[in-house]
Amino acid sequence: MACEDKQAAFTAAMNTAQQQLKESLSRIAQVAEAKAKNISDEFEQGNDLAQGVGAAAGAVVGGVFGGPGGAAAGTEMGRLIGSLFVLKVDTQRVEFALDVPTTTMKTQEWSFDSPVVIMQDKEMTFDLPVVVMVRRAGPDIPETVCRMETRDLGFGVKIDVPVCYVEMKPTSIDIPEVQMQTQRIVVGLPEVRMVTQSFKLDVPEFAMARQSLSFDIPRISLEFVKDAGSRTAAAAAAIAQEAQTAAMQKQVGLREELRLAVIGPCNEMFSCYREQLELGRSQVLAMFDPQISQITDSVKSLISKGVAEASTEVATLRETLDRVVAERDKALSGIDRAISELAEASRKALDQFINQDPEENAAATAAAA
């Protein structure tokens, strides 16, 4: 349901609540009439005059207004109830004012630059340090070498004897060295183009409109057509008193009962407008968040493949990311401000509608002055 429908539902609830209150006031007289009819019928069936006259012909019970006075709204002609009573219904017009929230829609427009991202494959070359093992000459080490040598013993005798020598032998060792090796990779890099967007959104503005309301409070009176016994007279007085009490309670609680009846639709109206603004905010985010994710992922991909943080490619992407995020925040600021203003306006409107009366507001304003 659109928010305009919620507003119409709130207005309809106000009208329905007023009509129901008027009908409930009318039922007070209807209930009194039905009970008076029962008493009259019982009187006819079993006359209690034997116990003494409780109310002489012409006596009137009931008919006293309670609460603050109001203008007389009219008198209904007396209706004969059975053979015992004439029922008269006078009405007193009670009027009061109620500040009711009203809404007007104002279209707001925001302009901002949103990103268009195109991924392009790019070949990149860069040097990475690599550790390699290089063989180098080590120090000479002594080594004992034994071999057989022929010795002449004389007299024409020669024999082979073992002879040992110490000789210096060369060695070699593997030493780690850091060398720069050229790497070639193909990576998708985003090309970002900023396009100016115009975004329109209907923003509600709330005001309090004073609405004058009036209700006719019934005054029920029963006039005895003929003498009645004490039991019948007491029952008739009880009916009149009950009707008067019901009318007084209605009169005292009219404003509060009306508010309670419509507070639900009123809250739904405010909630709908808030959801409408939040939906607009989501639409703006949808213009930025996928592109921001693409740029962020590209930065992570470059770094994970060994491209230095200080490289031109990474620095350029980070600058682009910062610019896109700044444009996103700029685009959201207007809507966030509208949401904040709506929350404050709805809070004040609801507080005034639920908790305060126009008369109380006027008195508070006069006291502050």
DSSP per residue, 111-157: EEEEEEEEEEEEEEEEEEEEEEEEEEEEEEEEEEEEEEEEEEEETTE
pLDDT of residue 132: 81
Per the structure, the count of domains in the chain is 2
Distance of alpha carbon 33 from the chain centroid? 50
- pLDDT, tens only, 161-212: 888 888 888 888 888 887 777 777 677 777 888 888 888 888 888 888 888 8
Strand partners, 195: 114
Do residue 117 and residue 140 come from a single domain? no
Beta strands 157-224 and 60-62, pairing class: antiparallel
pLDDT of residue 56: 83
Two tokens at 256? 């509060």
Do residue 147 and residue 241 come from a single domain? no
Beta carbons within 8 Å of 211's beta carbon, 6+ residues apart: 14, 97, 98, 99, 100
User: Among residues 179, 202, 222, which one ends one of the domains?
Assistant: 179
For tokens 């970002």, the residue is 192
pLDDT tens per residue, the chain (369 residues)? 578 888 888 889 989 999 999 999 889 988 988 998 888 888 776 666 766 787 888 888 887 665 555 555 555 557 788 888 888 888 888 888 888 888 888 888 888 888 888 877 777 676 767 778 888 887 888 888 888 888 877 777 788 888 888 888 888 888 888 777 777 767 777 788 888 888 888 888 888 888 888 888 888 888 888 888 888 888 889 998 999 889 888 888 888 888 888 888 888 888 898 998 999 899 889 989 998 998 898 888 888 878 888 888 888 888 988 989 998 998 898 889 888 988 888 888 777 777 665 555 444 444 444
Do residue 147 and residue 71 come from a single domain? no
CA distance 203 to 214: 34
Do residue 162 and residue 292 come from a single domain? no
pLDDT of residue 95: 86
pLDDT of residue 353: 75
Do residue 278 and residue 175 come from a single domain? no
User: Among residues 113, 145, 179, which one ends one of the domains?
Assistant: 179
Do residue 266 and residue 326 come from a single domain? yes
Do residue 261 and residue 158 come from a single domain? no
Domain that holds residue 156: 127-179
Do residue 24 and residue 104 come from a single domain? yes
User: Among residues 179, 199, 214, which one ends one of the domains?
Assistant: 179
pLDDT of residue 367: 43
CB 342 within 8 A of CB 273: yes
pLDDT of residue 369: 46
Do residue 145 and residue 276 come from a single domain? no
Do residue 207 and residue 65 come from a single domain? yes
The CB-based long-range contact list for 4-7 (8 Å cut-off, 24+ gap) reads 6/265, 6/268, 6/269, 6/272, 6/273, 7/103, 7/269
Q: Give the DSSP H or E segment for 14.
A: helix 3-45
Do residue 242 and residue 277 come from a single domain? yes
Do residue 86 and residue 173 come from a single domain? no
